[in-house]
With several copies, the nearest count.
Chain A
Amino acid sequence: MTDGADAAPLPADESGADLHSLPGGPRAALEAVLMVIDEPATDVELATALDLPVAAVRTLLEELQRDYDGGSSPDDAPRGFELRSIAGGWRIFSRSDFADIVSGFILEGQTARLTQAALETLAVIAYRQPVSRARVSAIRGVNVDSVVRTLVQRGLIEDAGTDPETGGLLYRTTSYFLERLGIGNVSELPKLAPHLPGLENLADIDDSDI
């Protein structure tokens, strides 16, 4: 790819035409690329690799997604895998129905469950990020130092600089957190408001209290 400048310049459409001449066409080419990625790939990255317009790739991705879910198969049977868009990119996963069977083959990657304390701390950080440990402590009513360390170690949260006022380290969630939660973006987290009856302005309260 970096040698492109040396080689004779290819017209953009020629590459696309090449794709169509290959067995399975652009759809299969997209599948081929999805087979080798080891972290979510954005539609822009995929479009660059295939030399196709992003919109076209997005359409193909959605077609594949439906296809794997059994929508376009003659007998409507879903495949054992699915294509999902999470953490800002696309990636192939085994279908969750087969978790028991698959887990026997996967040695690593499935980490131990989080403790209640770790989950609560993670929830506060996810909704209040970037946030300092002191602030999380105040909301949870307990010291959270060691829990925060565990969460960093597991790659669920990370450093987000220091608070200009207090000088304390700030934390935010990582893209791995989004991946583990199966969402594309922090804004997809369930709304906190329904869980907080009549207290829209809580932020003011706990801020003044620290």
Chain B
Amino acid sequence: MTDAGPAAEAPTEPQAEGRPGFEVRLDNFTGPFDLLLGLISKHEMDITEVALARVTDEFISYIRRLRESGQDWVLDEASEFLVIAATLLDLKAARLLPTGEVEDDEDIALLEARDLLFARLLQYKAFKQIAALMGRRLEEEAARYPRQVSLEPQFAALLPELIWRTSLADFAKLAAKALEPKAPKPMEVGLAHLHAPAVSVKEQAAIIAERLQDGGPLSFGALTADAADTTVVVARFLALLEMFRDAVIAFDQASPLGDLTVRWTGPERDWSTERLSEEYEDVPVPAAVPGDGPEPAEAGEEGHDD
């Protein structure tokens, strides 16, 4: 690990990565794995040795310090740190258990989490070492300059006459396309497999209205018995709230936690779902939840820290 030091301190180009603050606070650690490896090497521990308790404490205090510094750190990275911190905490807890006894699934899960963390750390360490090799190699190679001179005039003259078929308008189109500011590419979490069809609250409200007008009071269970999936159940629930707000239905509940019965109280025929707000978006949601005191207060404190 002795070679990690100089490599980490090697002068780097101005932060092309665009998030200098975060890296600087971490003394140039490029991520949680890097920080963990740094801590492990600081204590001269073998990475495969199960002696993570001390490292865990330091890692968590790093995170605390980050938090106290109160700056906006990038959410992705913060969550990465938290995932690792949580894993480490679990591991630390596991060390408090009687050793050598694997009793239940939870113990096994902990052991697996430990192995996974080690595996990922080892892999990261391997790539870090390779990256250092690669960096040295790139630097050595940069000392060699390839011959790439422009064509001598007599050879350039031999090139076939350029065929140019691009009109002025097409050329401008090309420029416009190339110069268009590119939106950062979205993270490539594949969403293609999540093709849940959108369920319209209004459509569901129409179905409910029809059933209540035709069949009299119905329980919530009966109203949702034919729902193909949870989204439909949710949509019908939201539709009921909407309709209640519009005062076309009433709820009856005989006893606490008993069956909820819904009955139609609106006009006979000319009620229309047009009166409902678009896709539930206008339903007023309580602006602040009074019970959630501690969190906003904490956020406020963070703001003052600097």
Contact = CB atoms under 8 A, between A and B. Distances in A.
Contacts of B177: 120
B181 A197 contact: yes
A128 B42 CA distance: 29
Contact of B187 (A96, A117, A145, A206): A145
Contacts of A30: none
A21 interface: no
Nearest to A33: B145
Contact of A193 (B128, B159, B176, B182): B176
Given A189-B168, A205-B116, A112 B178 contact: no
Contacts of B166: 119, 181
- Which of A82, A114, A191 has its CB near the most chain B CB atoms (within 10 A)? A114
Given A109-B145, A120-B174, A149 B122 contact: no
Interface stretch (A47-55, A56-64, A70-78, A162-170): A162-170
B179 interface: yes
Name A's interface SS. Answer: mixed
Contact of B129 (A35, A132, A168, A195): A195
A126 interface: yes
B298 interface: no
B290 interface: no
A107 interface: yes
Nearest to B189: A134
A105 to B, nearest CB: 9
Interface residues of B, number: 89
B131 A190 contact: no
A140 B35 CA distance: 11
A66 B34 CA distance: 44
A111 B161 CA distance: 9
A7 interface: no
A187 interface: no
B171 interface: yes
A123 B178 contact: yes
A20 interface: no
Contacts of B30: 116-117, 120, 140, 142
Given A115-B15, A197-B48, A91 B146 contact: yes
A112 B165 CA distance: 11
B120 A180 contact: no
A99 to B, nearest CB: 4
B131 A116 contact: yes
B99 to A, nearest CB: 22
B270 interface: no
Contacts of A123: 127-128, 130-131, 134, 171-172, 174-175, 178
Given A36-B145, A114-B162, A192-B126, 8 more contacts: A115-B15, A119-B135, A120-B178, A140-B127, A142-B80, A189-B168, A190-B168, A206-B119
18 contacts: A36-B155, A93-B145, A94-B147, A115-B16, A120-B131, A134-B187, A142-B31, A143-B187, A145-B185, A152-B150, A167-B192, A195-B125, A196-B180, A199-B119, A202-B181, A206-B123, A208-B18, A210-B16
